[in-house]
Amino acid sequence: MKTTISLIKADIGSIGGHTKPHERLLEACKNRLEEEKGKTLIDYYVTNCGDDIELIMTHTKGVDSKDVHTIAWDAFKEGTKIAKDLGLYGAGQDLLSDAFSGNVRGMGPGIAEMEIEERPAEVFVAFMADKTDSSAFNLPLYEMFANPFNTAGLVLDPKIHDGFKFEVQDVKGHKSITLNTPEESYDLLALIGLTDIYAVKRVYRKSGEIAAVASTEKLSFIAGKYVGKDDPGMIVRAQSGYPATGEVLDPFARPFYIAGWMRGSHRGPLMPVGEKDAIPTRFDGPPRIIALAFSMKNGILVGPVDAFADVGFDKAREKANEMADIMRRHGPFQPHLLPPGELEYATISEVLKKLEPRMKKM
């Protein structure tokens, strides 16, 4: 039996700004999924990272299943009704169209799905981030699957010593390429270091099994204007033939700067937090990430362990707060402000246009 894990997420409204959804929205989503448990779905887990609701679902319908996407869409629609009744901010924000035709791809929600042959003791980690976009995963995915200074198994474990394959998307040019590591590590880095253009979509074992998948939907491209950051999710398999859970988590112990934060237009640190601390309020951030480690047997989920709640990540949070201070010091200046090509709040062009007539030739 093959099992599919589907992580589908959307921001359908939050309390007091872009902070966190109301409990009733989460309940509405849980109720919808509960109705399908034992029918279309095997199991599910619902949570939030910041203002984004995250549906983690298991089933046997494969990726891009019309049935499963419809359940997710209906759950978000139910939640949106409540969000509108409560007057929540950004109600229904990520449901960009009413013309749903059975696949949420291109409709606003973010999607990360993988179909797998379960190992006897399947382990995966679901990562969910708020106030950033999917290229925020480029650096940690490289560390997990290609950097022996992070992943001891690349050196020590014959099962992963061969390395991995990275499928990279040009999210602007709508192209993709697959590169092998360690052989093509430098080529890979030449691409994925350019985080405004390239995002890692999937990672595979050399033997072909999928190891990781990230959501790379670009909300602003779908809507044609800024509607909010993509706030990506990803699923990463761990242990026995894959990096260990601790190797998958460790890149986040060394916070790094990513694009997003306030108005999707600022560079800031990605702060690893437990589920209860995924409420970004300081300057609408700093950007957050949660990591839930699951066991799974025949599609039944066991757990999760709220991995970043570990006190071992306390220092990372402290560091991320210091890094946030350093960036905030710059106010409206780069490098805190993103360069024009990366600014999600592209309305700055309206401000600049107003000044254009007063520009004198030099």
> Any catalytic annotation for residue 77?
no
Tell me: does residue 52 bind Mg ion (CB under 5 A): yes
Nearer to Mg ion, 289 or 323 (CB): 289
Residue 362 corresponds to which tokens in the numbers above? 């030099």
Tokens standing for residue 56: 């983690």
- Residue 52 binding result from ligand F6R, Mg ion, none, given CB thresholds of 5 to 8 Å by partner type: Mg ion
Q: Does 251 bind ligand F6R (CB under 6 A)?
A: no
Smallest distance, Å, CB 51 to Mg ion? 4
Q: Which stretch binds ligand F6R (CB under 6 A): 21-29, 152-160, 182-190, 257-265?
A: 257-265
CB of 18 to Mg ion, least distance (A): 4
Catalytic choice (165, 229, 230, 250): 229
Residue with the CB atom nearest ligand F6R in the bound state: 284
Q: Between 191 and 230, how does the x/- string for binding to ligand F6R read (CB under 6 A)?
A: -------------------------------------xx-
Buried b (16+ CB within 10 A) or exposed e, 274-287: bbeebbbeebbbbb
Kindly list the distances between the CA atom of residue 36 and the CA atoms of 41, 67, 116, 255, in Å, as whole numbers in the listed order.
Answer: 6, 10, 21, 39
**One-letter amino acid identity for 358?**
R
Q: How far apart are CA 259 and CA 35, in angstroms?
A: 38
Nearer to ligand F6R, 226 or 256 (CB): 226
The DSSP call for residue 169 is E
- Applying CB under 5 A, the span of 2-10, 14-22, 54-62, 292-300 interacting with Mg ion comes to 14-22
- Give, as ranges, the residues between 263 and 282 that touch ligand F6R (CB under 6 A): 263-264
Of the listed pieces 35-43, 182-190, 216-224, 260-268, which binds ligand F6R according to CB under 6 A? Answer: 260-268
- Minimum distance between the CB of residue 93 and Mg ion, rounded to whole angstroms? 6
Q: Closest approach of Cβ 300 to ligand F6R, in Å?
A: 35
Catalytic residue check, 229? yes
User: Cα–Cα distance between 148 and 161 in angstroms, integer?
Assistant: 10
Instruction: Output DSSP code: residue 346.
Output: T
The answer to whether 13 and 270 have CB atoms below 8 angstroms apart is no
At what angle are helices 138-146 and 185-192 packed, to 10 degrees? 170
Q: Which of 284, 304, 327, 342 binds ligand F6R (CB under 6 A)?
A: 284
Distance CA 292, CA 107 (A): 26
11 labelled catalytic: yes
* Residue 293 CB partners (closer than 8 Å, separation 6+): 123, 124, 125, 238, 245, 303, 304, 305, 307
Q: In the complex, what is the shortest distance from the CB of residue 281 to Mg ion, in angstroms, rounded to a whole number?
A: 12
Residue 18 CB, shortest distance to ligand F6R, in Å, is 4
Please give the backbone phi and psi of residue 86, each rounded to the nearest 5 degrees, phi first: -85, -10
Residue 262 contacts ligand F6R per CB under 6 A: yes
Determine if 11 is a binding residue for Mg ion (CB under 5 A): yes
Looking only at the bridges linking them, the beta strands covering 288-297 and 271-272 are parallel
Q: Are 126 and 291 in contact (CB under 8 A)?
A: yes
Catalytic position from the list 218, 226, 319, 345: 226
3-state secondary structure of 316: helix
Which residues are CB-contacts of 114 (< 8 A; sequence separation ≥ 6)?
Answer: 4, 5, 63, 202, 210, 213, 235, 237
Site for Mg ion in 67-106 (CB under 5 A): 90
Residue from the set 4, 6, 18, 285 that interacts with Mg ion by CB under 5 A: 18
- Min. distance of Cβ 228 from ligand F6R in angstroms? 5
Q: Contact residues for Mg ion (CB under 5 A)? A: 11, 18, 50-52, 90, 130, 228, 231
Residues recognised as catalytic: 11, 226, 229
Q: Contact residues for ligand F6R (CB under 6 A)? A: 17-18, 131, 228-229, 262-264, 284
